[in-house]
Structures are given as structure tokens and as C-alpha cells.
Amino acid sequence: MNEQKLTTVGEYAYKQSRTRDFLKRYGMALVFIAPHLIFFLAFCIYPLIYGIIMSLFKYNIADPSQNEWRGFGNFITILFRADNIYHKEFWYAMGNTALFAVVVVPLSIIIPLFMAICINAKPKGYKLFRSLIYLPSVLPVSASGVIFTALFGFLFGYINQWFGVSIDWLNSNPMLAWLVILLLCLWGGWGGNFIILNAGLKNVDKSLYEAAAVDGCTGMRRALAVTLPAIKQQMVLCIFNTIIGYFGLYGQIYVLTNAGPITDSTNHATMSIMWYIQNLINSGNYSVYGMVSAMGLILGIIIGIITAIQLIITRERKSGTKRSNEFAEYLKARGSANE
Amino acid sequence: MKIKKLLTSAVCIAACLAVTASAGVLSACKKPSRELVNDIVFDEFGDPIFTDESGKGIRLKIQSVIGSPDNAYLDMVNTAFNDYYRSSGLQADITSVENGIFYQQLANTINTDPKNAPDVIIFHSERLTYFASQKILVPMDETFELLGENNTFDKSNYLENVIAECHDKDGTLYGVPLDVHSGVWYVRKDILEKNGLTMPSTKAEFEAVCKALMERKAAGTLWTRDMTSVKTQIENATSEQEKHNIRERAWKQVGAETAASFFPVEMSAADNIESGWLPQTAVLQNGGKLANADGTPAWNTSSGLKNTLEMFEGWQDKYIGANRDNQTLFANLGNGNAVFGCEGPWWMEQRLNEYDNYLGEGALAILSLSGLYADDPQSPAANAVYGVGHVFSIANTAANSSATRRVAAALYAKFMTENAVKYTAGGHLPACKTVLESEEYKTSVAYNRYLKYMADPADYVMLGNTQYFSPVYEQLKTAYIWTLSKNKSGTVEEHIRGCFEEAMAQIRGSDDL
């Protein structure tokens, strides 16, 4: 009987010590990650799953009795039913967004890269310039939009006044409207890529530059042959983050053009996919929420595919010399076998 | 490893919770339980008692789409309601919600936020049919019937053309109309009279006046007057004679060079307020309809619409300047660079005060849309004007399952509409006949100063009982906006057809959902 008591106490003490050890080891980590974890679960995981469920329904937020199971009907409509207005406008907006991303992404890399190279040369006052370059990124989109509206306004805009022209930048020609949106995106966005590329440039091995100098490689040739390959990882990161970011283009369009000008009876010329989804939610049609959820998921899948491409491209680089080592071993083994 | 398992478990638990909550979506397929609980208690006079045993009364939450400046007038009537019903324990608080988010958040608030859900909503009556179909409103007739013999609500006391839009497709009344209104032309009557012209009343006269003004401009004999140039002087003037002299000295005779930016009409492709009235009125004044019986658009076949839009298209750079925008309307009217500007009626009091003060009484006049777009001014429909109304409806909330609360909401709607004289100062014509015919209304400053220049209330034609409000109304606006757009291609007829097809595509898409 005493033995059993000792055994029971021993087991009890063992369990207690395991729990204490666990908390001792991971308790502080849990305390620190708990806020983010709770936020992540409540505001990311839960809405994601709820959205997936909604996308399988005709979902009416006003009258739940009208909710109907549609299965993949919403997805089929968006992807395949060319006669349906949601299909038409979804892909029109997606086309606008993709085309804009194709144009803005190279500029969003080249311009910050150029600035990073200049700053990396540490000219006089480079610290001030570095701050000024990043400053627009600190401003919220709404504030930037007010600035650009003041600049490019038709009647009282500063650009028209300074240059003595009378151009309706935002409400006449779609190309002009896209140009202003592009300028706002570049101006507001170059700070982030600049920081990453600048950091990348700082980490380029100085011996590479010395070696290049010995071989007589200077100036532009050095930038192309030494600098760019050395910061390839950062550039790939910037490219894909920028692409993914601009697939969510909304704020700049909302504050500048609200997807106008209207080019014909059907289309808002500067409509992006996020603006379209948001406009559907605001349209006053309470039955559209299932369809909108499906659109959001399809957009998420497309962005996921882009992310996957990024992972595949960067993964090979991360493998380092693994493949070459494996090949060297293969050759060695083959050579031994031949002998 | 353990932390990884813990995190994985947490994510799985969250996923399960999400699925469970999502199952609420399935279970929510049942009709919400808001069955009426008949808890009304009447006093010895047959009036409902609004206080409970502890003496606590009912405080109604009202959400209104009416914004500045006319919400100030509505607040006056609300104050009168509170004063009247204070001893009964019934009070009401109005919250004004911006138009853009009012309709978006309404259904969500009613269904998912019971604490903040409104008891009564004040909104645009053209959306009533749709809201009724979404079951977020409570039938009004049935609510008044709960009062039994003490029910004094009489539908015939409201304008037939206005209250018709407060029914759903089946003819059930879901709201009590407050008002009807339309845009108006603000006219620099002083400039017209100085140039020997009179206020137009038909399409041909309107165009003739514009033509005459432009001819005078070309000849260098156009008289115009800038209000902004005299403001400071008028404020510093010490006598009426001095003010009169200042106003007379402000007149200038200008020509094409000195008044290059003068164009008689302010219209814009920038989605101004006029896009919500002019094309609609053009359809109605030429005998057309805005919506068919099935709710689909009926304006596509209107020859009056086509003719009017072609007329507006022809006015560009002729009577309408190239640099017009919704910001310039009152500025250009004020500085004499325009004579006609279409805006909402809620600015009438403010603008008339401004012009009377600086340029003298009668400098600014109000011109209704009656007869201005009819191809045949003698036709019976020539005076029709597209009307927009505000309506009181009871929200279908859990709180309103109490019959006492529902009746309180209905009595609120009745009181507000039957005592709306103060509200009309905001540029709205009352929908209640008692108010229209009252001495208080007819002798009011607002009526004699500007309301009587709006169209006859009986001439207003509403959008009708369509649940496709957005495609029918917004695509017609698009047709107008495109007409004045600098970026268009094709003819007006092609574009009307395109807008109609887009509206039908939206309706089919909505029905497919």
C-alpha cells in the first residue's frame, strides 16, 4: 500500500514536473506570440473558412432564409460562363489589374534600385536623401491621394497651373488616369523596395568590386556584371512582393478616380479587381455575398500561384551548391566504377 | 516540436470553430424568429401605454439617410415629436448616416447587430420594393391596425403618386412617405433681365435664351455681374442706397475676349446631381416610363430621352463650357460666368439668402424642371418631373417583435409626416395632403420664397415599384454622364442601347445569383 502511494505520488510529481518544464521552456514564447496568434486565428483563419463556406452558397445578408446551397456554382459562373455579367466584369477588372502590374512592377524595381545605387555611393547628404526617399511610404494612401488630386485636378490643379495647360487628368482619357495612378503608386511605393535593395547592396562582398576593378570592369558594366547578380535574391523578393501587392490595388484608384472615367456603357476604365469586389459589396444587392466570396477566393488562388512561382524560383538558389556537389559525387562514383 | 504541435492544435481548433460558426450559415437558412408579440396595453382613452411597470418608456432609434443641410430641419420636427410624447414615455433619437454607407450597412446592422439596429429607417422610397423583398421591413398597414379603433392613419391623406412607391409588388404598404422633391435650376434672373430676356418654360425657350446670351457675348454686349466682387463692399455698406449703388456699379458689359469663360449652362460629366433628374424627367415628359411592370428598365425606347441627350450633346462648347465640374456650379453662377445651374433643392434657402444679401432680392430665381424637356409642350405629360421621396419604414428587428414598440414606430412615422412644415424649408414638398393644404405651410416663408416655384406635387412621377432600382436608375444616369463625357465614341442612340443592355445584364446576373 505504501508502495502504491509512492508510485502515485511519483507519477503525479512526474506529470507536474513535465508541465512545469514545458511552461518553463515555452511559456514566455507563448505569452509573446499569443496576441498575434489570437489575432491571426480570429481575423485570418476564421474569416477565411467562413468565406469559403459563403462562396458555396447564394448568401443573402439581409434575408438568411434566401440562402441556398450552390456548391461550386459561383466559381463556375466566374470562371466559365461568358454570358454572365460577373464573369465579364471580373476578368475585365483582372485584366486591368494584371496589365497595370506588368507596367508598374519593372518601374517599381528600377527606380528604387537606381536610387539605392546612388545612395550606396554615399554622396554628401545621403542620409537626408535616404529619409526623403522613404518619406512618401509613410503617408497613408488617402493623404497621398489628396496631394495628387491637388496636383492633377482639372480646374485648380497645380500641374495645369504651373504648365499653363488645361488637361483633365483624371476624368477624360483613361490613359491619363492610369498615368496618374501609376505615379501615385510609384511615389508611395518606392520606399519599401528601396529599403530592401539598399540593404542588399550593403551586403555585397567588397572583394567582388575589387576583383572587378582589377579586371578593368567599372561603371555600368560593373553594376550589370557584379552588383545586380549579387542582389538577385532581394530583387526577386521585391518583384514578387510588388506583383502580389499590386494585385490588391484599391486605395489609389478609390481616392483618385473611383474607377472612372466611364469609357462606354459598360466599363469603368480604371477598375481594378479589388475595386470591383468592393463595389459589388457596396452595390446594395444583398444577395451578392456568396459570389463576392468566390471572387475573393479565386483572386487569392491566383496570387497563391504567383507566390508558388516565386518559391520555386528562389528555392533553387537557396539550395546553394547542393546540386553541383551531388553531380560531382556522381562523376566521382562513375569514375571509380570505370576503374 | 511541442510548440509546433500546440500551434497546429490551435489552428485546428480555430478551424473547427469556424466550421461550426459557418454551420450557423446553414442553420440561419431558417426564417429569423421575429414573430409579433402582441403586448400592447391601452389606457382608458384607448391610447397605447409606452411605459412599463417601472416607468421606463420607449426610446426609438431612428437612422436617416437625410444629410446636411436638410437634416437640421428634420431634427426640428423630431424635437416636436419628443415634446409631444414626452409625458407618454415615448422618445426618439435620429442619427444621420451618410448615403454611401447607409444602404451598405443597413441589412448587416438589422441582422447581426441587434443592440444598434434601428427601429425606424428613413430612406429613399425607390429602394422600398427591394428592401421589402429582403424582409428587412415590417408591413405598415398591419402595424397601424394593432391600434384598433384608435387607428387614425389614413392612406388617402398622402399624395397618391408618392405613396404608391411605398408599397411592394403585392400592394402591401411598407412605409409612410415624408416628402417628394427633384433637382431645380438655379437661375441668375438678374442677368437674364438685364439682357432683356425672360425665364424660359419650355425646351425651345431654354435654348433660345442660351442662344441669345451667346450672341450678346459674341457681339460684346452681354451684361453680367460678379457677386464675389461686391461681397466685401456690401458687408461694409451702411445704407440700403449704398448697397443699391454698389450692386448697380457691379454690372459689366463683356464680350468674347473679356468673358471667354462665360457659358450659360452648368452641366458636367462628373456625375453631378443633375444626372439623377434630367434624363429621368426627359423620359417622363415625353410620355415614357422608367420601369416596366416586371421592374426592368423601360427608358430605352424613349424618343424623348434620345432627343434630350442629343440636345445636351450639341450644347457642349456651345452653351456648356469645357471646364465645368461639380465644384464650379455655384462659383460660376456667383461670378456671372453661368446663368443656369441644376442642383438639389436643399440649397435653395442658403443660396437665396446669399444672393438676396449681396445682389438684392430676385437676383437668383428657382426654375422647376416642368416642361423643359418635352418635345411637345402641349402634351399631357409635358409637366411631369421625376420625383424622389423619403419614406419612414419600420425595421424588422428582434426589438420590433414587440407590438408596443412597433406601434410606437408607426406613430412616430405618422407624426413626423403630418407635422413636416418645418422640414419643408429644406427644399422638400410634403407628401401629406394635410400639410400641403395647411395655412401654416402656405403662409410659411419657405413656401412663398421658393417651394411654390418647384413643380406641382401632383406632377411628380416616382421610379415605381421595381426591385431593380440600381440597374434601372444608375444605367440611365450613365447614359447622361457619357453624353457629356470628353471620352465618348458612337452615337447617343448606340449608347442608350448599350446602357440598357448593361442594365439587363446586371438584372440577369442578379437573378442568377
> What is the three-state SS of chain A?
CHHHHHHHHHHHHHHHHHHHHHHHHHHHHHHHHHHHHHHHHHHHHHHHHHHHHHHCEECCCCCHHHCEECCCHHHHHHHHCCCCHHHHHHHHHHHHHHHHHHHHHHHHHHHHHHHHHHHHCCCCCHHHHHHHHHHHHHCCHHHHHHHHHHHHCCCCCHHHHHHCCCCCCCCCCHHHHHHHHHHHHHHHHHHHHHHHHHHHHHCCCHHHHHHHHHCCCCHHHHHHHHHHHHCHHHHHHHHHHHHHHHCCCCHHHHHHCCCCCECCCCCECCCCHHHHHHHHHCCCCCCCHHHHHHHHHHHHHHHHHHHHHHHHHHHHHHCCCHHHHHHHHHHHHHHHHHC
Measured between beta carbons, the chain B residues lying within 8 angstroms of A284 are: 103-104, 127, 130, 469-470
pLDDT over 90 percentage in chain A: 55
Q: Domain span at residue A47? A: 8-52
Superfamily of domain covering B58-180+388-461: Periplasmic binding protein-like II (3.40.190.10)
> Is residue A256 included in any domain, yes or no?
yes
Measured between beta carbons, the chain A residues lying within 8 angstroms of B477 are: none
Which residue would you say has higher pLDDT here, B1 or A146?
A146
β-strands B176-181, B388-395 pairing: antiparallel
Please report, to the nearest 10 degrees, the dihedral formed by the alpha carbons of residues A128, A131, A132, A136 taken in order. -170
Q: What are phi and psi of B242, to 5 degrees?
A: -65, -45
Q: pLDDT truncated to tens, each residue of chain B (513 aa)?
A: 566 776 777 667 766 666 666 656 555 544 445 678 888 888 888 889 998 888 889 999 999 999 988 899 999 999 999 999 999 999 999 999 988 788 888 888 887 787 889 999 999 999 999 999 999 999 999 999 999 888 999 999 999 999 999 998 889 999 999 999 999 999 999 999 999 999 999 999 999 999 999 999 999 999 999 999 999 999 999 999 999 999 999 999 988 887 888 999 988 766 678 899 999 999 999 999 999 989 999 999 999 999 999 999 999 889 998 767 767 889 999 999 999 999 999 999 999 999 999 999 999 999 999 999 999 999 999 999 999 999 999 999 878 888 999 999 999 999 999 999 999 999 999 999 999 999 999 999 999 999 999 988 989 999 988 889 889 999 999 899 888 887 677 899 998 999 999 999 999 998 887
| Neighbour count for residue B171 (Cβ, 10 Å) | 9
**Whether A105 and A188 share a structural domain:** yes
Q: Cα–chain-centroid distance for residue A204?
A: 25
Here the cell at position A188 is 508611395
**Whether A48 and A110 share a structural domain:** no
| Residue A54, min C-alpha distance to chain B (Å) | 8
In 3D space, the residue among A266, A198, A102, A21 whose CA is nearest the CA of residue B475 turns out to be: A266
Q: Determine contact: A286 vs chain B, CB below 8 A.
A: yes
At residue B470, what is the residue type? S
Which residue would you say has higher pLDDT here, A143 or A316?
A143
Average pLDDT over residues A241-251: 93
**Whether A142 and A30 share a structural domain:** no
> Is residue A88 included in any domain, yes or no?
yes
| Residue A242, min C-alpha distance to chain B (Å) | 29
**pTM check: above 0.90:** no
Residue A1 has a pLDDT of 47
Query: Structural domain boundaries of chain B?
Result: 58-180+388-461, 184-386+468-512
A339 — pLDDT class (breaks 50, 70, 90):
low
**Whether A220 and A315 share a structural domain:** yes
**Whether A230 and A314 share a structural domain:** yes
Q: Is the domain covering B184-386+468-512 a CATH 3.40.50.720 domain? A: no
Own/partner contacts of A200-205, CB < 8 Å, gap of 24 or more, are A200/A116, A200/A230, A200/A231, A200/A233, A200/A234, A200/A235, A201/A116, A201/A117, A201/A120, A201/A227, A201/A231, A202/A120, A204/A230, A204/A231, A205/A230
**Whether A112 and A43 share a structural domain:** no
**Which residue of chain B is at minimal alpha-carbon distance from A42?**
B14
**Whether A131 and A235 share a structural domain:** yes
Average pLDDT over residues A219-230: 81
Measured between beta carbons, the chain B residues lying within 8 angstroms of A64 are: 25, 28-32, 111
**Whether A14 and A91 share a structural domain:** no
Q: How far is residue A174's CA from residue B509's CA, in Å, rounded to a whole number?
A: 27
> Is residue A111 included in any domain, yes or no?
yes
Scan for cell 469609357, then name that residue.
Answer: A263
**Whether A168 and A220 share a structural domain:** yes
Measured between beta carbons, the chain A residues lying within 8 angstroms of B136 are: 62-63
Residue B1 has a pLDDT of 57
Alpha carbon separation from A232 to A224, A238, B352, B470 (Å, rounded): 11, 10, 67, 50
| Residue B393, min C-alpha distance to chain A (Å) | 16
**Which residue of chain A is at minimal alpha-carbon distance from B487?**
A172
Element (H, E) at B323: none
Q: How many CB pairs under 8 A join A and B?
A: 146
> Is residue A149 included in any domain, yes or no?
yes
**pLDDT tens column, B294-348:** 999 999 999 999 999 999 999 988 999 876 776 788 999 999 999 999 999 999 9
| Predicted ipTM > 0.85 | no
Instruction: Name the percent of chain B in helix, strand, coil, to the closest 5.
Output: 50, 15, 35
What is the CATH classification number for the domain harbouring A160?
A: 1.10.3720.10
Measured between beta carbons, the chain B residues lying within 8 angstroms of A86 are: 509
With 60 as the cut, is the pLDDT of residue A313 above it? yes
Of A37, A48, A85, the CB nearest to B509: A85
**Whether A24 and A161 share a structural domain:** no
* Torsion sign over Cα B16, B22, B26, B32: positive
**Whether A46 and A171 share a structural domain:** no
pLDDT over 70 percentage in chain A: 94
Rounded to whole angstroms, the maximal C-alpha distance in chain A is 103
**Whether A153 and A41 share a structural domain:** no
Orientation of helix B203-219 relative to helix B303-315, angle to 10°: 10
Q: Determine contact: A245 vs chain B, CB below 8 A.
A: no
